[in-house]
Amino acid sequence: MRAWLHRLRRLGRRSPTKIGEALWQQTLDALPFLAQRPAAELNRLRSLCEDFLACKEFYGAQGLRIHDQMALVVAAQACLPLLNLEPTQQVLDWYDDFVTIVIHPDEVLARREQIDELGVVHQYEEVLAGEAMAGGPVMLNWRDVASSAHTAAQGYNLVIHEFLHKLDLRDGVPDGCPPLPSGFLGSGSINEARQQWLGLMQSEFETFRERVIRAERFGQPAPWLDAYGASSMDEFFAVTGEAYFVNRARFASEFPKLLDLYDAFFSPST
């Protein structure tokens, strides 16, 4: 633990390196949903990315070599949810519980263990596109990251998904509700704000889950977003949240109530 903390502090003191114009433009070209944002937002995002890259380490698994443009593509998408949060000077504190971002070439097969109510241990394997662990690193696969421009039409974005889990986990509870600011939605207390957030999320989650069930069991049209969002409230937050950032127009038509909720949190001053 002491070695890890020393390493974290050392990385935190590293001076940000300015992102060159050519590299930045290359990143915007690779991520059209970013490029269409106002110039003032892109300038803030660029600065955030410089600070992010100064305090994070990238590790390529299975021999994958991470070059500057790969790291910046991840950083730009990871920082997008923080872009309009307040206070702007401390927004990267949302991600201060980890240092390392591990990138695999493709999805990975993870071995899992689960203990049932009788105490029996069940072992199984799970295919992971990515993973965000409380107090631990973020894992991504480059195939999905590299496809971010193309998957925006489906509301899918692996990087944003995993970093939204990091926001959700700030209070230690993966419940689909990140820590909310005082006075959120005119609430009188943080607890009241959470109840408002969770009440709306629960209603939208149940509607989405019902659509998924009807599609899977009765052949009705599948919902626009990944059915994985119906597995739990925290996954619903991450699945809808990624869509909110990469395909706002379609998201607004599919989830108008969530659009207002997410705008109030992610863009409070706009």
Do 191 and 163 fall into the same domain? no
Do 188 and 106 fall into the same domain? no
Distance, in Å, from the CA atom of 165 to the CA atom of 169, rounded to the nearest integer, reads 6
Please, are residues 265 and 177 in contact by the beta-carbon 8 Å criterion?
no
Per-residue pLDDT at 266: 97
- If one counts the domains in the chain, the total is 2
Average pLDDT over residues 216-232: 96
pLDDT above 60 for 7: no
What would the pLDDT profile of 108-150 be if each residue is shown by its tens digit? 987 766 776 777 766 767 789 999 989 999 999 999 999 999 9
Distance, in Å, from the CA atom of 54 to the CA atom of 48, rounded to the nearest integer, reads 10
What would the pLDDT profile of 14-67 be if each residue is shown by its tens digit? 788 999 999 999 999 999 999 999 999 999 999 999 999 999 999 999 999 999
Per-residue pLDDT at 121: 67
Do 55 and 91 fall into the same domain? yes
Strand partners, 43: none
Per-residue pLDDT at 112: 61
pLDDT above 60 for 5: no
Do 124 and 190 fall into the same domain? no
Strand partners, 109: 127
Unique residue bearing structure tokens 């890890």: 4
Domain assignment of residue 115, given as a range = 1-172
Identify the DSSP state of 65. Answer: P
